[in-house]
Amino acid sequence: MAEYRLDVPADIAEIPRLLDWVETCCGESGVGGDVPSKLILALDEAVANVINYAFTGTASPHRIAVVLEFDGDRVAAEIIDNGRPFDPSATPEPDCTAPLGTRDVGGLGIHLIRRVMDRVEYRRAGDENRLRLEKRRT
């Protein structure tokens, strides 16, 4: 199993660097097809949510790390941050059939993550949020 870790400053301008790193790690690990693009899409949304919402009202330093794990049949990404507790896996599914004017604001990013990943798990460990995303390689 190959494992990679990147510490990401809590700055939205760092997202492109993160996504380039994910693409490089996928290439080095021989992950192809649509898996890298789905992983990039999910991580873009999840890390942007952490940067934009997790640290409101919390003291510095703000920490975000992304750990990628590649094994024979799956790719896993874990986003670890020291922001406020938030379990995106507990967020209800949005009603995508409702007219736009009646829909609640937000929630589509989490919906997107659920759709492109095979497994989404959240846990709180001490003062850290840990969001684990998994995708089969094939």
105: Cβ–Cβ under 8 A, 6 or more apart, which residues? none
Segments making up each domain of the chain, as ranges: 2-136
Please name the fold of domain 2-136: Heat Shock Protein 90 (3.30.565)
Structure confidence at residue 88 (pLDDT) = 81
Q: Model confidence at 138, in pLDDT bands (50, 70, 90)?
A: confident
Structure confidence at residue 110 (pLDDT) = 86
Strand 119-125 versus strand 74-81 pairing type: unpaired
Q: Model confidence at 1, in pLDDT bands (50, 70, 90)?
A: confident
Note the pLDDT tens digit of each residue in 58-111.
999 999 999 999 998 999 999 999 999 998 877 666 555 556 565 555 556 788
- Which of 48, 42, 63 lies closest to 129, judged by CA? 63
Note the pLDDT tens digit of each residue in 12-68.
999 999 999 999 999 999 999 999 999 999 999 999 999 999 999 999 999 999 999
